[in-house]
Amino acid sequence: MKGSKKEERMMVLEMLKEGNISVDESIKLLGALDSSKKSDGFEYSSGDMDEKFERFTTNLDNFAKDVSEKAKTTYKDLEPKIRSGTRTVLGKTISVLDDINCSLTESLENMKRADAEECAKEQQEEMKDLE
């Protein structure tokens, strides 16, 4: 009579412990036990695992494609808004820079005017002194 799966595994480990089989042989035996009928009554083979791995890989590829497509769609949706926002920021920046330029130009003109007035005053004082 055949022992339970647990008993069979214990026998393989005991043979390994006693030195009756090598580590490689024990791995092969345990693998064979694992690939035989499972406790649920279904048989699993390496082909089943290959199929599961293929399905997993396909699902992962599909997920990556979906994420990529959603990223592209999101970018396409946001691109006009980003361009509009950029134009607005650039327009306001140009406006502020124009205001600064006008203010600096006005200040420079005021300084020149003040210097010219001071120079004219000095010349008038010199003329009075000469008279």
Summarize pLDDT for 12-56 with one digit per residue, the tens.
899 989 999 988 888 888 888 877 555 455 555 566 777 888 888
Structural domain boundaries in the chain: 68-131
Task: Read off the pTM.
Answer: 0.39
Per-residue buried b or exposed e for 33-51, using 16+ beta carbons within 10 Å of the residue's own CB: eeeeeeeeeeeeeeeeeee
* pLDDT at residue 43, as a whole number: 54
Distance in angstroms (rounded) separating the CA atoms of residues 75 and 83 = 12
Summarize pLDDT for 94-110 with one digit per residue, the tens.
999 999 999 999 999 99
Number of separate helices (H) and strands (E) present in the chain: 3, 0
Distance in angstroms (rounded) separating the CA atoms of residues 108 and 106 = 5
Helix axes 5-18, 23-35, angle to 10 degrees: 170
